[in-house]
Amino acid sequence: MTVGGADLLDEARAWLAEDPDPETRAELAALIENNDVDALADRFSGPLEFGTAGLRGALGPGPNRMNRVVVTRAAAGLAAYLKARDGKAVVIGYDARRKSDVFAADSAAVFAGAGLRALVLPHPVPTPVLAFAIRYLGVDAGVMVTASHNPPQDNGYKVYLGDGCQIVPPADVEISAEIAAVGPLATVPRGSEWDTLSDDVLEAYLDRAASVVSPSSPRDISVVYTPLHGVGMDVLVAAFRRAGFPAPYVVAEQAQPDPDFPTVSFPNPEEPGAIDLAVAAASETDADLVIANDPDADRCAVAVPTPEGWRMLRGDEVGWLLGYHLIRRGVAEGTFATTIVSSSLLSKMARDHGLGYAETLTGFKWLSRVKGLRYAYEEALGYCVDPAGVCDKDGITAALLVAELAATLKAEDRDLGDLLDEIEDRYGVHATGQLSPRFTDLARIDAALELLRAEPPAELGGRKVLTIEDLADGVGDLPPTDGVRLWLEDGARVIVRPSGTEPKLKCYLEIALPPGGGSPRLLREHADNSLAMLKRDLGAVLGLP
């Protein structure tokens, strides 16, 4: 069997000879000794793709895994890219996943060896702290070693440039070419002189974070918080204290960083069961609010009490609430932005208040580049409430703004549910949902998209399909991307695309009902029923169980 034109075992032995990590060396040596062709083929099936999210994948030996060889080559390629553009300095952050500190140290050594100034944050931090540090320190790039909310076996390597934004084309392609040009690991120079920063950067971040809330707004709010075994707790608690809020009650079982994420099946607050411990604590303590961060604290989830029990708000609902709160607080200029897979309600809110509005492809790598950006969100629990401070999603500042909004409403004898009623009464009911099947056979994802392109349905959920757009062709001002968008009668919409970070097909659905058609409760029931029919029919078209 051959991979890339080389004998598989020979390629594995060559990798083994230059791998500096005893753990991955031992794993690879065992696979070679046992002649485990299938496992070797998986690890050597090709390099991890360096894209707009940098690198992300399972830990292990070989070019198709995250390991010290892959990270060293990535750092050397990034260093070459920066030096060709007269770059001088890079700041590096890392979370508490397996090997994150090792990958950060390897990167610092490679950057130093290339003649760049390498600045390493002093301990595991949330991703937004690294994004803040780039512009605060005035460096040319930033690297965050994290796999965000991926499974425990994964890690990743996220790259930002000096504007504090994640890389987009053509930078990703150009960096990838530099990585491909890196020679044997022994030829990559490594230095020992890099700077480990003090906590001054974190202190500056906390000062900036506290400034997102008004000094005169109410602070009486009881919050239960979980960092989901990630790195958010110390920073969020410090941010609440600095902003003048009572300290949140932290879920003890999930408080400390743990790369095994032992209390959850999947470390993503969107996943069923992930915030059950927080909800139980909130019920016991009669809290006003539950807030959860994902493991690198760039996302923020919110749950609220209802007469039927605690309910986690959808990402779109939190996005509407934060946007409406900023408007109520007096935001009078700038652009509100969201992605094409998020709800259309924000566009109506911005237009109603004379604000600019923009839609981008999925991801803050695109949202952060919107001209005149004042506020942005994506339905996957990502919110940018202070783009002048952190031009990326930030689960810490989003949590502060949610706490301020909830405290303000509490002082008015109202809650977040009441404000959602007000928003829907004004802009209509917008029901959004997802189908996100996970595949072991990645070919099925491509096949499902090709089926939609070749044989689009005439009707979904009792609504005629009016238009189908192949996003790979580029639509409007959007750059080409793999995906399909279907417009249905009465403003309904479906978007289907492959996930950029997981082996999933992501299907985003929206039913939009205009205001004035009845009570919000009855309209929600109608919209939810329509959404369920849409999900059912789309699943049948895609051949999902």
Catalytic annotation, residues:
148
Helix H or strand E encompassing 410? helix 395-411
In the chain, DSSP finds a helix count (H) and a strand count (E) of 17, 23
3-class state of residue 81 by DSSP: helix
Q: In this structure, which amino acid lies at residue 364?
A: F
Read off the tokens for 467: 């238009």
3-class state of residue 198 by DSSP: coil
Alpha carbon separation from 270 to 303, 436, 488 (Å, rounded): 11, 12, 27
DSSP-derived letter for residue 415 is -
Alpha carbon separation from 142 to 25, 91, 111, 137, 224 (Å, rounded): 29, 5, 11, 10, 32
Rounded distance between C-alpha atoms, residue 322 and residue 455, angstroms = 40
b/e map 338-368, b = 16+ CB within 10 Å:
bbbbbbbbbbbbbeeeebbebbbbbbbbbbb
Q: Say if residues 495 and 484 touch (Cβ distance below 8 Å).
A: yes
Read off the tokens for 324: 């409406």
Among 89, 84, 92, 87, which Cα is nearest to 146's?
Answer: 92
Q: Say if residues 243 and 400 touch (Cβ distance below 8 Å).
A: yes
Q: Is residue 170 reached through a cis peptide bond, with omega within 30 degrees of 0 on the bond before it?
A: yes
- Concatenated DSSP letters of 303-353: EEEETTEEEEPPHHHHHHHHHHHHHHHT--SSEEEEETTS-SHHHHHHHHT
